[in-house]
Amino acid sequence: EDDEFDKALAEFKEESKEIETKRPCLEINEKALDYNKELAKYFKGSKLTTKDYNVKEGRNNRERGMIKHMKNDRNARNFKTYRLVYADTAHMFNPERFSCEMIGHTTQKMKVYALEPTKRYKELQEAFDNLRNTGDPDHLAEFARANPFHVDAMFSIAELLRLQGDYKQVNQLLENIIFMYEDSFGYEVNIFEHDDVMISYDANEYSRTLFAALNRFMDVLGKKGCYKSAFEYNKVLIKLNPYHDPAGGLLSYDYNAISSQSYDTLLDFPHRFGKQYYKSDEFSLIHMPNFSYSCALAKFLKLVQNEDLGISQYAGVTEEDFKQAGFDDALMKPLNFVRLVEVVAHLSE
């Protein structure tokens, strides 16, 4: 009976591994996206932004109508759910919101979408570009007050406030920007449930602020100690455009994974990313310097996270392991090998 139980347990573990490998490498944990909930674990009652209105008072007419309709309509599941911003305050809907249109497919058969502006928003964008070229922050502030739904204006003001150290206002503006973009996504652009859609960065200039805002917001969350939320937003940033990665999400993935103690996810990611998006092991990210070093660090941290060991004990890692790791790394990166030779030559003199 014991043998049968062990055999069944082994089969279950193998099946679990197979299921895990089939899951998308950028699968987003929606619960971990709630940064206010994570922040409240460390600082009771704290929230990322300053405003704290009552939910009912904070909702605008469109939101009230939408909620009322959802309660009375059997087909309420067809209404959009906003998943990228978590706040009690109501966020302003963009009266000139973008339309999300499919413009083609990648060679890997992913659907590519572009954000197209309305005629009025396009005219406002031209006016904003002229103001931005003047370099006068007062003109930008006046334009943002007159057009509070213009995402580029909000982002420019957020950058100015960030330099002044007014981070609460920066967080509020970034939340608004991300919300307006998510509101522009069509139902078919659902990165939480689909892995075959992406947003073009180069089709026009109107999607670029989305990537910049997500990058800044992810950085804010990490500095606030919301490591799990920052890691999930990092996945969102990559998933929106995994082939070009215009905002450098792959360069921060390993840092956020280690900060959130997602060691197993980090160790699996480099190979699974190549298999999923390029259908080949040749495109493994393990040869990127940040992943080669961070994966080694993740292995060590995973090894010692439940051990009360001093740094000198290294949890059983021998001197030979370090020598082998250094030799392998030198082979993968010739410049490191050249430097190593120079150091050895200098020491032998």
Q: What is the mean pLDDT of each run of 10 residues along the chain (349 residues)?
A: 64 53 82 88 77 40 39 45 71 81 90 94 93 85 91 93 86 91 87 89 93 94 92 96 94 95 92 88 83 87 67 53 51 59 60
Please state whether beta strands 197-199 and 111-116 pair in parallel, antiparallel, or not at all (unpaired). parallel
Question: What is the model's pLDDT at position 215?
Answer: 95
* Calpha distance 250→277 (Å, rounded): 14
In sequence order, the β-bridge partners of residue 197 are 111
The answer to whether the beta carbons of residues 185 and 100 sit under 8 Å apart is yes
Look-up of token digits 């060679």:
107
Question: What is the model's pLDDT at position 90?
Answer: 55
Please state whether beta strands 111-116 and 99-105 pair in parallel, antiparallel, or not at all (unpaired). antiparallel
* Calpha distance 80→78 (Å, rounded): 6
Q: Helices 208-223 and 249-259 meet at what angle, rounded to 10?
A: 20
Contacts of 27 (CB under 8 A, 6+ apart): 235
Question: What is the model's pLDDT at position 165?
Answer: 83
Sign of CA dihedral 302, 307, 308, 309: negative
Q: How far does CA 303 lie from the centroid of its chain?
A: 27
* Secondary structure letter of residue 188 according to DSSP: T
* Calpha distance 171→158 (Å, rounded): 8
The answer to whether the beta carbons of residues 273 and 266 sit under 8 Å apart is no
* Calpha distance 18→120 (Å, rounded): 51
Question: What is the model's pLDDT at position 60?
Answer: 42
